[in-house]
């Protein structure tokens, strides 16, 4: 891949503002009518250079969403939607712990708490346990 390639230059421009998943970069390059062979070469070069790393970005995304008190399942679905690896979800805190943190932080009780937990993607059994202990 030649550094002066338009495809490579566009890929670098995309990554200048923020990290992106390979699928995002590939989709934008495809939409820009870049030849498939140039897209593949650009993606391979960016991986070799360390500018494109789906596993690293997926781990950071999962940690950020976990800190926002999302359930593991909701995070997994979000990563799948982004065509990102989902293995990192297994390293996150348990849903029961995260749901308890969200319950405490929200200050809600009863049905309002149940709605809050369900909307955050927690399993109905965890919601029931948290609400019963409330």
Residues 60-117 have pLDDT tens digits of 999 999 999 999 999 999 999 999 999 999 999 999 999 999 999 999 999 999 999 9
Distance of CA 20 to the CA centre of its chain: 10
Q: What is the pLDDT of residue 5?
A: 84
Distance between CA atoms of 127 and 121, rounded to whole angstroms?
A: 10
Q: What is the pLDDT of residue 3?
A: 53
Predicted structure pTM score: 0.83
- pLDDT of 123 above 80: yes
Contact status, residue 15 vs residue 52, Cβ threshold 8 Å: yes
Distance between CA atoms of 40 and 69, rounded to whole angstroms?
A: 37
- pLDDT of 1 above 50: no
């Amino acid at each position: 891949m030649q550094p002066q390639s338009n495809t490579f230059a566009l890929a670098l421009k995309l990554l200048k503002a923020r990290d992106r998943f390979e699928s995002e970069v590939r989709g934008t390059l495809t939409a820009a009518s870049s030849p498939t062979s140039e897209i593949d070469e650009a993606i391979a070069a960016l991986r070799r250079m360390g500018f494109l790393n789906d596993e690293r970005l997926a781990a950071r995304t999962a940690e950020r969403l976990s800190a926002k008190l999302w359930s593991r399942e909701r995070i997994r679905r979000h990563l799948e939607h982004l065509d990102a690896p989902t293995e990192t979800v297994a390293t996150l805190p348990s849903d029961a712990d995260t749901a308890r943190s969200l319950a405490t932080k929200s200050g809600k009780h009863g049905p309002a708490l149940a709605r809050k937990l369900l909307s955050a993607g927690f399993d109905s059994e965890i919601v029931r346990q948290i609400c019963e202990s409330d």
